[in-house]
Structure 1
Amino acid sequence: MRRYFLAPLVLAALLVVLLLRPELMTPLLRLLAEPGQDLIYDRKPLMTLALWHLALVGAAGLVATVIGLALGILVTRPGGAEFMTLARMASNLGQTFPPIAVLAVAVPLLGFGFEPTFLALCVYGLLPVFETTVAGLRGVSAPVREAARGMGLSGVQRLWRVELPLAMPVILTGIRLSTVINIGTATIGSTVGAVGLGEVIVAGLQSGNTAFVAQGAALVALMAICAETALRGLGRLADSGALTRA
């Protein structure tokens, strides 16, 4: 188990160090900044911005995962198959409209800040979870389902004890994709007042400070890589059966 999470721990440690000691990036940022420009964003602590960024992505990811799982389970049950087209259209909605368009609609209704960005990320992160849930559950072979039925398991028991554990590696792939996408997408929330690392990028764009843009982009990219490697390790655990045994 340790080998699956060594790389994420190292990357997370590097991210924390750069958030607490951003001056370590000064030699590289100096190459990008114009003479006289600030190199390190110091209007707010970077750690505070990163924690808000993670909270936003985590909250939206949790909602998107719950809805995506529920819809995926619904349409793969005999009684819910007729809703497949409707569920797929709903989950595709986020990919049809870019997040900035969702923000443009949400801001007049929800105001500025956390709420419209949260809604945009929920909508945008739904599709990968839904599609991989459907693919994972449909990938459980008929003989396995029949064996579970022959053991006397009810439909709910077959779902929780057999189908979901077998489908979990595929489902985790969707959750991983959704999370990584939303870590990057959350940066646009700063354009409508959401607190996050997007503030650093937006401040750099507004002031023409390339060092700020590079600093914010590097921190967001490193955060996304940390999440991707951690969730990939979790997926490998699920694929090996370690999560099921636990």
Structure 2
Amino acid sequence: MKKYHTFTALIGCLFLLAAFLIHHIVLSKELENQTLILQSKIAALSFVAETGNVRLNRSKRVISLIDRYNSSMPLNLKLKTAMEIANASIKYDNLDIHLICATITHESGYKWDPKAVSKKGAMGLMQVMPETAKSLVQFEGIEWTTPAEILFDPVINIRLGSRYLSRLIELYETDGGLAAYNGGGKRAALWLAKNRAKGVLYEETQKFVLAVLSLYEEFRDYN
């Protein structure tokens, strides 16, 4: 009888030990999971902070360029414009703030006027045609209203213009993308197919490409 009780007690101890070990394993696993979650959150916060710093630094550089050409632009509009350009440079790998700013500078006649309109009807900072804008708004979740309401808003204008320019550069490289932005994709494709031969691009487009690339180089050195 005594042996039976001893055996029973031993079994009980083993069960308790097993339960303790299982509980310890479960706690260890939960702790490991919580640690991984915490590490993931820390990494995410670090990324957000780093991205925020990049965005802030780029915005400051854009503001310095805006001040060169339109120092009278209201501060809140200047900040929103600069932030959107910084956002676009983060969103699109083939765009940087200097290329976007170079495009805006030339397209707006060196005035950085959000309500600029060309003789052909291109509108806003990046001189986006209304027909082009209509085809792009859906990708940005923007409801089309009127050309003026959409394209005179510098944030929307930059968002649409940057998307369009990025896509063209993806198709035709940087200089070809600029050529397509000004003179159309077919002419840019032909120009590239002929190894960028003279006389293929329209004269206006040729001047546009050279002017924007010159500004691009200047802005990179300036900042």
Q: Structure 2 length normalisation: TM-score?
A: 0.25
Where relative contact order (Cα < 8 A, 6+ residues apart) is larger, the structure is 1
Point out the structure with max Rg over C-alpha. Answer: 2
Looking at secondary structure, tell me which structure has more helix per residue.
Answer: 1
